[in-house]
A and B are shown apart, each in its own frame.
Chain A
Amino acid sequence: AQSVTQPDIHITVSEGASLELRCNYSYGATPYLFWYVQSPGQGLQLLLKYFSGDTLVQGIKGFEAEFKRSQSSFNLRKPSVHWSDAAEYFCAVGYGGATNKLIFGTGTLLAVQP
């Protein structure tokens, strides 16, 4: 069965430092992979997605993610974090073909220190 693991529940980084959030997935076929961000009290906003082609994907707000099939990973990165990046980040895998259902990881809460 498909699943998504985000091993880091909570991460704190200093403003201006680099960031990497980990995501591992389990899925039998070629995965559709997503990163969403959720600010407090808000819905989810798509940061980026992968479903084919170049394994390094660029997203909004300066984020990127790299799909590594051999490691079943889709880690999210940002070279320099801003205080406004403090939020919860969810990795998700799409399944069910055209029904576009999503399985989410448990999320990583990012805190940014001044």
Chain B
Amino acid sequence: NAGVTQTPKFHILKIGQSMTLQCTQDMNHNYMYWYRQDPGMGLKLIYYSVGAGITDKGEVPNGYNVSRSTTEDFPLRLELAAPSQTSVYFCASITPGQGGDTQYFGPGTRLTVL
């Protein structure tokens, strides 16, 4: 298994442009998550999904959109990019039990908005 994969690894975006960060997992996990990590800060949850067709907002959803058409893929869409969206983005997934289950993280996408 490749686990959780993210593309691209690095990207520079101009202010006002849009792009999609890709996340794919091959572990047949139901739940998937998007986090952002700013320098000197912990990860903050942007959006999450509990299954295909079901998504919900996390702590910091503004400026982002997600979709979940398949179990494997959970893309994150940035519309009208702003410098405040410069960050490292991590995708994670789990197949949950009762709670307290381990999230498996991808390697991250480092995004710079100029």
A-B contact count (CB 8 A): 68
- Give the total of A residues in contact with B, Cβ under 8 Å: 28
- Contact between chains at B58 and A100 (CB < 8 Å): no
Chain A residues within CB distance 8 Å of chain B? 4, 9, 32, 34, 36, 41-46, 49, 51-52, 90, 92, 94, 97-107
Which A-chain residue is minimally distant from B59 (CB atoms)? Answer: A103
Report, nearest first, the 6 A-B pairs whose CB atoms are least far apart.
A104-B42, A51-B100, A32-B100, A43-B105, A44-B105, A104-B43
Which B-chain residue is minimally distant from A43 (CB atoms)? Answer: B105
Residue from B40, B58, B108 in contact with A101 in the complex, judged by beta carbons closer than 8 Å = B58
Residues in A with CB closer than 8 Å to B107 are: 41-43
- Contact between chains at B99 and A51 (CB < 8 Å): yes
Give bound CA distance, A100 to B101, whole Å.
7
Residues in A with CB closer than 8 Å to B99 are: 32, 51, 94, 97-98, 100
CB distance from A5 to the nearest CB of B (A): 10
Residues in A with CB closer than 8 Å to B98 are: 98
- Contact between chains at B106 and A49 (CB < 8 Å): no
- Contact between chains at B41 and A106 (CB < 8 Å): yes
Give bound CA distance, A43 to B98, whole Å.
25
